[in-house]
Amino acid sequence: MPKKLNLIGQNFGKLTVISLFGPFKGKTGWNCKCLCGKEKIVKTNDLTSGHVSSCGNHQNDHRKYDKGNKFERLTLVEYENGKWLCLCSCGNYTLVLTTSLSSRNTRSCGCLKTEENLSRINKFKI
């Protein structure tokens, strides 16, 4: 009898296998977590062949999520559980969800918002 595959903990593109799902569309399915945090069930062959390598939300996302890459003022330092430890250009560190980087909802550690607010205040000073 052939030995069963254990893909738990392995990475396939942006997907990390987190558990065995069981039968899925007549094949063995795996519960996978994407870098963006979304979970997806994928068949063994689709993972190992490279046919599926993300949750599908990254069709238009050509930005790379690699250590050292920059998103506005944030430089990616370390990834864990759907969040990036980022170094801001002001020198502060902050944790940011991958989805917040891709949507550009988070562009700094908070220093950018402070600077923008101060700029608005200074416009109205007499």
pLDDT of the residue at 86: 96
Classify 114 as helix, strand or coil.
helix
Q: Record the tokens describing residue 73, joined without a space.
A: 């003022």
Q: Record the tokens describing residue 49, joined without a space.
A: 């062949």
Contacts of 70 (CB under 8 A, 6+ apart): 76
pLDDT of the residue at 19: 94
Along the chain (126 residues), what's the average pLDDT of each consecutive run of 10 residues? 78 90 87 88 92 76 74 90 91 91 85 84 73
Domain ranges, ordered by start, for the chain? 1-58, 70-123
pTM, 2 dp: 0.48
42 contacts 52 by C-beta, under 8 angstroms: yes
Query: Cα(19)–Cα(70) distance, rounded to whole angstroms?
Result: 32
